[in-house]
């Protein structure tokens, strides 16, 4: 009986195009809402991630004073003082650079003119042709990289402008964290709540390890950049060094943008060519060391996202939320991957995102080679049984339609009597 019921159940379920269409419609609506409502969702998301980062500090303080509100306020005050001190330092130092901006641009133009004249002589152009080409393209060549930096900083200013909202959201996420956790667990059946709790712990661990690790990486990068620039002889080494470290939160391109500013400054303020070249070598070396040694050791394997998935998530984050989306794309994707690991049909997708994809590629045809782990299982629906399939195919119309029950019974008895007479 049990096997028959299972067979009937399997036969009654098939791939539902309707469910797939509903899913695609809902996904499109969600993406449109996230894009159009970016001014609302960006500070909300950063508040949630900031709460994840502060939760260990809050727990440590709360164990000592046994008052959650006070513990949260002390945690926010401690981190706020550090961030305020960093920004005040940058503002005071950058203001000095801005005061000398005219002299820097004039010096940069002279240096560029001399370099272009040398290039023109080497390639066989006359001095007038070289100067004409330089005048036409100098402004565009300088404004393009500076425009990238200015655009990045101005877009990131959206987070700074909404800093008060981020702090408010973080406060309430920390205050109601237990209630949020219990609400989520309450949506699962009793036998699934233990696994749900484990999933929440893994998400908390990923967020805390990634964000805390990135802060440590930025401090290390700031020290390495500043020491290197100081030894090269570039002024404001501390400012340029930690500016590059802060921009390193933008994966892959942050360090490049951060190294572009001291390179331009070195070209404008030094008479030799070796210092700008040394700046390029310094940042290339630091980026290599950071990508291959510092980040893997400090951040560890908390994210476990392969390079292809990371690049795609960065592009997607940039399309949806700009630079703020790029900054948080990888930790958000890591959290989504953890959730997928606990849903059987999505486990192969989680492996596709994992950094173990190359080594574990055979699992798609071994461990996950069964209907339980296929995406089509998410879109199975019950097979509709038509009423006409239940009716006998006699080819004659049913005369009993429209008759009352007593008439049908009488007709049946009359037929039975005629049968007995004939026999």
Mean pLDDT, rounded, for 182-186: 92
In a domain, 301, yes or no: no
Does residue 231 lie in a domain region? no
Domain-embedded: residue 211: no
Residue 44's pLDDT is what?
92
Q: 15 — phi, psi (to 5°)?
A: -60, 130
- Per residue in 306-335, pLDDT (tens digit) is 888 988 998 999 899 888 898 899 899 999
Lowest mean pLDDT, pick from 108-112, 172-176, 261-265, 268-272: 108-112
Mean pLDDT of 95-114: 61
Q: What residue numbers bound the domain in which 155 lies? A: 10-175
pLDDT of residue 155: 47
Q: Which residue has the tokens 């695609």?
A: 24
- What is the per-residue pLDDT for 352? 93
Average pLDDT over residues 371-377: 88
Smallest CA-to-CA distance from 241 within 224, 265, 216 is with 224
Q: Is residue 126 in some structural domain?
A: yes
Task: Please count the structural domains in the chain.
Answer: 1
Cα separation, 34 vs 36, whole angstroms: 6
In a domain, 100, yes or no: yes
The residue-averaged pLDDT of 44-60 equals 91
| In-domain check, residue 150 | yes
Question: CA-CA distance, 392 to 250, in Å (whole number)?
Answer: 69
| Cα angle 147, 149, 154; round to 5 | 90
Q: Which helix (H) or strand (E) holds 14?
A: strand 13-15
324 falls within a domain: no
**Beta-bridge mates of residue 382:** 13
- Tell me the pLDDT tens digit for each residue of 123-150: 555 555 555 555 555 555 555 555 544 5
pLDDT at 387: 47
**What's the mean pLDDT when you consider all of the chain?**
78
The answer to which of 253-257, 261-265, 358-362, 409-413 has the lowest mean pLDDT is 409-413
Instruction: Specify the pLDDT at position 364.
Output: 92
Q: Is the predicted pLDDT of residue 9 greater than 50, yes or no?
A: no
- In-domain check, residue 118: yes
- C-alpha distances (whole Å) from 48 to each of 88, 283, 362 are 25, 33, 37
């Amino acid at each position: 009986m049990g096997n028959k019921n299972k067979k009937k159940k399997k036969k009654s379920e098939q791939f539902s195009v309707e469910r797939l269409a509903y899913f695609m419609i809902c996904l499109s609506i969600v993406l449109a809402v996230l894009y159009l409502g970016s001014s609302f969702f960006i500070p909300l998301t950063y508040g949630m991630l900031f709460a994840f980062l502060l939760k260990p500090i809050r727990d440590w303080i709360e164990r000592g004073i046994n008052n959650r509100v006070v513990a949260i306020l002390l945690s926010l005050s401690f981190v706020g003082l550090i961030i305020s001190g960093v920004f005040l330092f940058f503002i005071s130092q950058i203001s000095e650079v801005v005061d000398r901006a005219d002299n820097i641009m004039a010096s940069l133009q002279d240096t560029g003119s001399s370099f272009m004249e040398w290039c023109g002589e080497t390639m066989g152009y006359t001095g007038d042709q070289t100067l004409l080409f330089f005048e036409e393209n100098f402004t565009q060549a300088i404004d393009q990289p500076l425009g990238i930096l200015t655009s990045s900083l101005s877009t990131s200013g959206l987070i700074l402008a909404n800093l008060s909202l981020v702090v408010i959201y973080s406060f309430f996420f920390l205050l109601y964290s237990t209630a949020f956790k219990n609400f989520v667990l309450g949506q699962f059946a009793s036998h699934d709540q233990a696994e749900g709790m484990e999933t929440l712990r893994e998400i908390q661990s990923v967020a805390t390890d990634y964000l805390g690790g990135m802060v440590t990486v930025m401090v290390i990068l700031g020290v390495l950049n500043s020491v290197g620039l100081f030894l090269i002889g570039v002024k404001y080494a501390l400012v340029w060094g930690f500016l590059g470290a802060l921009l390193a939160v933008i994966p892959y391109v942050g360090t490049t943008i951060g190294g572009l500013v001291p390179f331009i400054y070195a070209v404008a303020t030094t008479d030799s060519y070796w210092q700008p070249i040394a700046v390029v070598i310094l940042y290339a070396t630091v980026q290599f060391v950071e990508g291959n040694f510092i980040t893997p050791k400090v951040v560890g394997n908390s994210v476990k996202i392969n390079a292809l998935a990371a690049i795609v998530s960065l592009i997607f984050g940039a399309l949806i939320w700009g630079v703020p989306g790029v900054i948080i794309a990888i930790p958000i994707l890591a959290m989504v991957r953890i959730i997928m690991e606990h849903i059987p049909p999505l486990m192969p997708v989680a492996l596709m995102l994992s950094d173990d994809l190359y080594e574990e590629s055979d699992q798609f045809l071994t461990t996950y080679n069964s209907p339980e782990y296929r995406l089509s299982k998410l879109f199975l629906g019950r097979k509709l049984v038509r009423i006409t399939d239940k009716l006998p195919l006699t080819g004659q119309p049913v005369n009993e339609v429209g008759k009352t029950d007593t008439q049908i019974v009488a007709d049946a008895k009359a037929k039975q009597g005629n049968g007995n007479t004939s026999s």
